[in-house]
C-alpha cells in the first residue's frame, strides 16, 4: 500500500506552461516577404485572453486587439528581417511564447500605391473610395485584404496611371493593399494601409 505520493514543486514558468496554453500565429506565414509599411499579424487565443506580441528576444512590441478567440496586431515596419512571437495571459496567468515567426520587409517591385485614404485615418461608415496610382499600361489593379485575398478590381482611369475602387464598408479596422497586373504578371503588393470605419 502506497502511503504518500511524491509531490513535484513547479516554479511559476512551469505552472504557466501547464495552466495557460500557448496562442497561435496564423499570419504572416513563416518566411514570407512583405512591402515596407504595415504588416498584419494574427492568430488564435483563448476567449478573454490578453495577447502580447513579442520580439525575437521576448521583449514586448505591443498588445494585440482580441476579438473572441482571434487576435491581431498591426504596425509599420522598416526594412529587414523580422522575428515575432506571441503569448497570452488569462486571469493574470501567462503562457510561454509561441515559436518564432520570421518574415521579411523590403521595398516592393513595380507595385502600385494607395493614396487615399491615408494610413491610420478614420472614415465614416458607408461607401468609401480608395484611390491610388499605377504604372501606365497596367492591365488591372487588384485591391487586396491583409491576407492577399482579393476584395475587388479597381477601375483604371482614362489617364492610365490612376485607379479607384469603392465599396460599402461596415464599422471596424480595415487593412488594404493593392497589386497591378503588367504583361499578364502580378506585381508585388503595395505597402498596406490601415483605416478605421466608424
**Greatest alpha-carbon span in the chain:** 90
Return the pLDDT at 147: 86
Query: In this predicted model, what pLDDT tens digit does every residue of 145-189 receive, in sequence order?
Result: 988 899 999 999 999 999 999 999 999 999 999 999 999 999 999
Share of the chain above pLDDT 70, in %: 91
How large is the average pLDDT for residues 93-100?
A: 95
pLDDT for 12 beyond 80: no
Give residue 95's pLDDT band: very low, low, confident or very high (50, 70, 90): very high
3-state secondary structure (DSSP) of residue 15: helix
Name the residue with higher pLDDT: 56 or 141: 141
How large is the average pLDDT for residues 97-117?
A: 95
How large is the average pLDDT for residues 100-104?
A: 96
Query: In this predicted model, what pLDDT tens digit does every residue of 119-147 receive, in sequence order?
Result: 999 999 999 999 999 999 999 999 999 88
Q: Is 80 left (phi over 0), alpha (psi -120 to 50) or beta?
A: left
Return the pLDDT at 18: 55
Strand (E) positions, 5-139? 32-35, 37-44, 50-55, 60-63, 65-67, 70-77, 80-90, 93-94, 101-106, 113-116, 121-123, 126-133
Q: Is 95 left (phi over 0), alpha (psi -120 to 50) or beta?
A: beta
C-alpha to C-alpha distance for 198 and 195, rounded to whole angstroms? 10
For the chain, the average pLDDT equals 90
pLDDT for 83 beyond 80: yes
Name the residue with higher pLDDT: 9 or 134: 134
Q: What is the pTM of this model?
A: 0.78
DSSP string, 124-142: -SEEEEEEEE--TT-SEEE
Give residue 9's pLDDT band: very low, low, confident or very high (50, 70, 90): very low
Name the residue with higher pLDDT: 8 or 108: 108
Ordered by where they begin, the domains of the chain are 12-106 (2.60.40.10), 113-197 (2.60.40.650)
C-alpha to C-alpha distance for 86 and 62, rounded to whole angstroms? 10
pLDDT for 7 beyond 60: no
- Here the cell at position 124 is 465614416
pLDDT for 84 beyond 90: yes
Instruction: Quote the distance between the C-alpha of residue 36 and its chain's center.
Output: 13
Return the pLDDT at 129: 97
The burial class, CB within 10 Å (0-12 / 13-18 / 19+), for 3 is exposed
Amino acid at each position: 500500500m502506497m502511503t504518500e505520493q511524491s509531490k513535484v514543486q513547479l516554479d511559476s514558468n512551469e505552472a504557466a506552461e501547464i495552466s495557460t496554453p500557448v496562442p497561435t500565429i496564423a499570419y504572416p506565414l513563416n518566411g514570407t516577404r512583405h512591402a515596407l509599411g504595415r504588416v498584419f499579424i494574427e492568430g488564435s487565443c483563448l476567449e478573454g485572453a490578453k495577447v502580447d506580441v513579442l520580439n525575437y528576444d521576448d521583449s514586448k512590441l505591443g498588445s494585440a486587439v482580441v476579438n473572441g478567440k482571434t487576435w491581431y496586431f498591426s504596425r509599420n515596419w522598416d526594412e529587414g528581417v523580422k522575428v515575432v512571437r506571441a503569448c497570452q495571459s488569462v486571469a493574470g496567468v501567462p503562457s510561454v511564447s509561441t515559436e518564432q515567426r520570421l518574415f521579411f520587409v523590403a521595398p516592393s517591385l513595380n507595385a502600385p500605391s494607395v493614396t487615399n485614404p491615408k494610413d491610420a485615418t478614420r472614415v465614416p461608415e458607408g461607401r468609401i473610395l480608395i484611390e491610388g496610382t499605377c504604372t501606365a499600361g497596367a492591365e488591372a489593379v487588384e485591391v487586396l485584404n491583409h491576407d492577399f485575398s482579393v476584395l475587388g478590381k479597381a477601375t483604371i482611369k482614362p489617364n492610365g496611371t490612376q485607379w479607384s475602387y469603392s465599396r460599402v464598408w461596415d464599422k471596424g479596422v480595415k487593412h488594404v493593399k493593392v497589386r497591378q497586373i503588367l504583361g499578364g504578371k502580378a506585381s508585388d503588393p503595395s505597402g498596406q494601409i490601415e483605416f478605421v470605419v466608424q
